[in-house]
Structure 1
Amino acid sequence: MVTAFQVAYLGDLLAGKVVDTAGEPVTCAPDARVVWALTSATHSGTRRNPVPAHRREAMVETVTTRAGLPSLVVPVADVPPSPRFAHTVLATCELVLGEALTPAETVVACSTPDVAALYAAEGFRIAAVEAGDPRDPVRPWDVLERMVAGDDAWRALAHPDAVAFYERYRLDEHVRLVHTDPTVQDDGDLTETRDYTTYTAAFDDASDRKWAQVAPHVRPGRVVDLGCAAGGLLERAAKDPRLAESDLYGVDVSRHLVAEAEHRRAQGVFANPNVFFAQRNLLLGPVFPDRSVDTTTTIALTHEISSYGRGRDDLELLAARIFAHTRPGGVWINSDVLGPADPERVVDLVLDGDAAVPPRDLSGLPRAEAAAHVAALSPAARLVQFARDFPALSGAAVEVEWVEVGQVRSVARTPLRTAMEYLYTRDYTDSWLSECHERFCDMTGDDWRALLEGVGFELEPGSGPWRNDWFVENRLRVGAALRDPVTGAPVEWPDTHVLTVARRPLAPVATAG
């Protein structure tokens, strides 16, 4: 945001009407210019930086041109907090402008004391902007917060041309949506504890298999992959000859993942030129017009929506939004993990190792250290850690009664839902705390049928639960077994996944009476 106070202050600064923080007048040359350091230019769509850099740059150019304020704009990449921040900005300015900004010929206008101190340490004089005015004028972020709160006073505090710019591009609506998203962290992600390198690699590795599963059901036209991650599924879709004339859209709530997808597109990864990516949250409002999408895919997404939001209520909202944007005859293809059909059945989960290991508080540890600790635990000891972390992070109950076998606690008597939640989660050690926030067993096959039919979809033949036997043999069964607590007989592994192809019915054909 550019405020009316800022523009007036900078005009006074150029006119020699301002003193620096030492009380000395600042005298500017007649041809002096304002350099706007547009920080975090590679970061957008978050509460910290809701407006993308190209919009911010255009707003600054618009406001300063109309105000007669000679200016240059320098985008500066997003960097972590650092004592070298001022050096980073100055080095970027020199690279972009082709000349160094030196203390002899530059004054820094900055109202944030900690940041101003970094420039002062480099020898620059500081003009304190809002911080130096006894009237304590509002800062730009205060104006944004008023906008988000619905206080129309923001229009009088922002520069008039900034207000017009916001309205022209409906940025006020965008900022309000970003700030009020209840599921996303300040930096634009569901969680702060996810290892995105591992996460992206896992999605990419599975993309061939996932595309083979959903491809037969895709209707050409406008194809939307919700929860697209870094675009692995769309990379496969872009190679499909049936979709050569289709427009392919990837939508994800994560800033990190959309940025990686855009990077891949710039590298020429996608064979179809009509591939587009957007950082959006469909729960906050429609992304596409009604009846405009032929195919929507959601792969391993719905359990995250349920986990980080309001459970089934958010899944119902998602289904209603997808139904609304689907053309008659179009489809929503959903594939995800699934809760067991009989979740409250008590089973004995027989695990390798000994549960006589106390759990550890991992919340304050670096991610790598937490991952190494969990990875070193036996299956039984890891369940002990899970029983501590999963309820605290996911809000779900964990009921475990340990049964000693000889001198070893290795049998957990527990509802089947808890057993499956643990087994689905236990191998994701790289992002353990992130995964313990996610519930995989909120929905059964019957739940999905009721939800989809409830919003108006019809299920295509073959939709429903299924068991991934490779997953059972290579993941669930490793170091673990299910037994009946009464008879000791093996318990059959439940269905692990669901695939639903939900079609919006064709509009009825009117007939003459």
Structure 2
Amino acid sequence: MQVMRHVLFPGRHHVLTRFQAEYLAGLANSDSTVVWAVTSANHENTRRNPVPYHRREAAIERFSVMTGLRSVVVPVFDTAPTERFAEVTVKTIAVATGLELTPADTVVACSTPEVAALYAALGFPLVGVEADQEHPVERPWDVLLRLADGDETWRVLAHPATVDVFDRYGLTETVRSVVNDPVVGDEGGLTATRDYRTYVEAFAGSAARKWELVRGHVRPGRIVDIGCGAGAVLELADREPTLRESDLIGVEVARHLYEECVHKKAQGAFANPNVFFYRRNVLGGAVFRPRSVDTTLTFALTHEIWSYGEQWKSLRRFAEAIYAHTVPGGIWINSDVCGPDGRDVPVRLRLADSDGRNPERPRDDLARLGPAAAGEYVAGLSTRARLDQFAVDFAFPFAYEAHDDGSVTLPLGAAMDYLTRKDYVENWLSETREQFCGLEFADWKALLGDVGFVLEPASTGTRNDWIVANRLAPVAALEHLDGRPMEWPVTHVLLVARRPHTAMA
């Protein structure tokens, strides 16, 4: 093939390989420029994109020096799937560098057929890099998976530029932790079906109530909000005169929410200069040094760790991590949903059936409809029919028995899991992956005591009476099996757990 003036090399470029160095050396000459279009440049710390852009750029620049290739590196931000991806990339390069790449002077090097086809449609000549080889050649992602699996042969396949950057910046363990994370999804959230817009709005609306609940228990010093969402609670902590000398630290794993925190800080939302945000998953390893945090806050988080992780195993690991980073005398304040006392006790549940449709059977294909269509379908069901649909979609199976009088017998915990979730139709596919009632207050006491914490007297199970009055009582009633009315049980828990001054190491 005729040597072109430019070689456009689109890709995520987390790992550069020795094969790529040999291939590009044969494709380009001293007058050619390799244009590295680094896609998903605004993503990091996810399975699909574990390495931040600035580290990828550093490796490419070092690669260029070591191989003698003239390179230009351009970040391309992630976009929704579009047939115009190739066109967007070419335009991004033009805006960033002034280079107007055309089919007459540019060859596109791409091993992904679907992406290559988009450039071919624009008239660009193509080379397939690894895809062109007679014998199979490992692609960069294959090499990265070797690294994630602990296979040290990745160092032989990767180019020394990548190995050097990974070693200098400790990226090897970071990649292994992110790729093998049991909780976080490919795109950096707990679930791909969550509508983060409504999630942020709901959390912001309740932030004042949450802060008022815990502010009297906060110990000044180093204050960490794990699962901080969009930083709404830390904004309120920032206004507390007694905390003006404290460090306020937000930790968030979901990319969308972390980016909102960073944006708020950049816009001057915080008066305290010592406000910091980290994108981390506490289950992936220690985030803070041992005995370095005075107060840890968690709101509506622990049920997600339970649900998306390995239930008891993940939650205990989380509690142990918090205990380890808490100073002696420091506290962990946890506010979350909670299962009722005696959650396994069978009860009778009566539900309204005149407030929506009652199909003959629930659907088993809501996930294929997508979040919006699934939510619209569920919203049209009666409260009774919605229970049947919940039983199909809920990630934590339970048995229930329907009776001729319209009532249903099921465990109390399952009843409350349904009743406290039935109105979240906008995020139905996400909410049905989470279990609110996996633990009751006694379970929390046992877990925290076993880890080494001591519960303060303020710790208690509570009932959200607004939910009872507005969401539950109008359409549902709980009864004992003998027909006696049952009081609505607790729905939430407040745990103020202190690490003793004289405690286990």
TM range, smaller chain: over 0.9
Query: Which residue does the alignment assign to 2:295?
Result: 295
CA distance in 2: counterparts of 1:402 and 1:412, whole angstroms: 4
Structure 2 letter corresponding to 1:432: W
Residues 337-486 of structure 1: pairs in structure 2 closer than 5 A: 337-353=337-353, 357-361=360-364, 362-390=366-394, 394-397=395-398, 399-405=399-405, 409=406, 411-486=407-482
Query: Which residue does the alignment assign to 2:10?
Result: none
User: Secondary structure of 2:145's match?
Assistant: helix
Residues 197-346 of structure 1: pairs in structure 2 closer than 5 A: 197-346=197-346
1:6 lines up with 2:27 in the alignment: no
- Pairwise CA distance, 1:14: 2.1
Which segment is superposed worse, 443-452 or 183-192?
A: 183-192
Which segment is superposed worse, 489-498 or 271-280?
A: 271-280
CA distance in 2: counterparts of 1:460 and 1:79, whole angstroms: 48
Are residues 75 and 342 of structure 1, via their aligned partners in 2, closer, same or farther at CA, if it must alter by over 3 Å?
A: same
Q: 2:60, 2:161 within 8 Å by CA — same for their partners in 1? A: no
Residues 158-197 of structure 1: pairs in structure 2 closer than 5 A: 158-197=158-197
Would you say how many aligned residue pairs link Structure 1 and Structure 2?
Answer: 485
Residues 48-63 of structure 1: pairs in structure 2 closer than 5 A: 48-63=48-63
Q: 1:348, 1:483 within 8 Å by CA — same for their partners in 2? A: yes
Q: 1:231, 1:250 within 8 Å by CA — same for their partners in 2? A: yes
Query: Which residue does the alignment assign to 2:497?
Result: 502
Structure 2 letter corresponding to 1:106: T
User: Secondary structure of 1:380's match?
Assistant: helix
Q: 2:146, 2:153 within 8 Å by CA — same for their partners in 1? A: yes
Q: 1:111, 1:131 within 8 Å by CA — same for their partners in 2? A: yes
User: Secondary structure of 1:491's match?
Assistant: coil
Structure 2 letter corresponding to 1:165: V
CA distance in 1: counterparts of 2:141 and 2:299, whole angstroms: 37
1:211-261 deviation digits (Å, cap 9, x = unpaired)? 111111111222111111222211222222222222222222222221222
Structure 1 letter corresponding to 2:179: H
- Pairwise CA distance, 1:475: 2.4
CA distance in 1: counterparts of 2:352 and 2:137, whole angstroms: 64
User: Secondary structure of 1:189's match?
Assistant: coil
CA distance in 2: counterparts of 1:259 and 1:501, whole angstroms: 29
Structure 2 letter corresponding to 1:295: T
Cα RMSD over matched residues? 1.7
Q: TM-score, normalised by structure 1?
A: 0.91
Query: Which residue does the alignment assign to 1:490?
Result: 485
User: Secondary structure of 1:498's match?
Assistant: strand
1:113-148 deviation digits (Å, cap 9, x = unpaired)? 222222122111223222223343321111101111
CA distance in 1: counterparts of 2:372 and 2:160, whole angstroms: 49
Q: TM-score, normalised by structure 2?
A: 0.92
Are residues 159 and 356 of structure 1, via their aligned partners in 2, closer, same or farther at CA, if it must alter by over 3 Å?
A: closer
Q: 2:36, 2:72 within 8 Å by CA — same for their partners in 1? A: yes
CA distance in 2: counterparts of 1:478 and 1:55, whole angstroms: 56
Query: Which residue does the alignment assign to 2:43?
Result: 43
Q: 2:334, 2:496 within 8 Å by CA — same for their partners in 1? A: yes
User: Secondary structure of 1:332's match?
Assistant: strand
How many percent of aligned residue pairs carry the same amino acid?
A: 54
Structure 2 letter corresponding to 1:495: V
- Pairwise CA distance, 1:326: 0.5
User: Secondary structure of 1:94's match?
Assistant: helix
1:66-100 deviation digits (Å, cap 9, x = unpaired)? 43322111100102332211101001001101231
- Ranges in structure 2 where 5+ consecutive residues have no aligned partner: 1-14
Q: 2:249, 2:277 within 8 Å by CA — same for their partners in 1? A: yes
Query: Which residue does the alignment assign to 1:24?
Result: none
Q: 1:222, 1:248 within 8 Å by CA — same for their partners in 2? A: yes
Structure 1 letter corresponding to 2:468: V
- Ranges in structure 1 where 5+ consecutive residues have no aligned partner: 16-29, 509-513
CA distance in 1: counterparts of 2:449 and 2:484, whole angstroms: 37
1:11-70 deviation digits (Å, cap 9, x = unpaired)? 22222xxxxxxxxxxxxxx54321110101112211111111122112212221343322
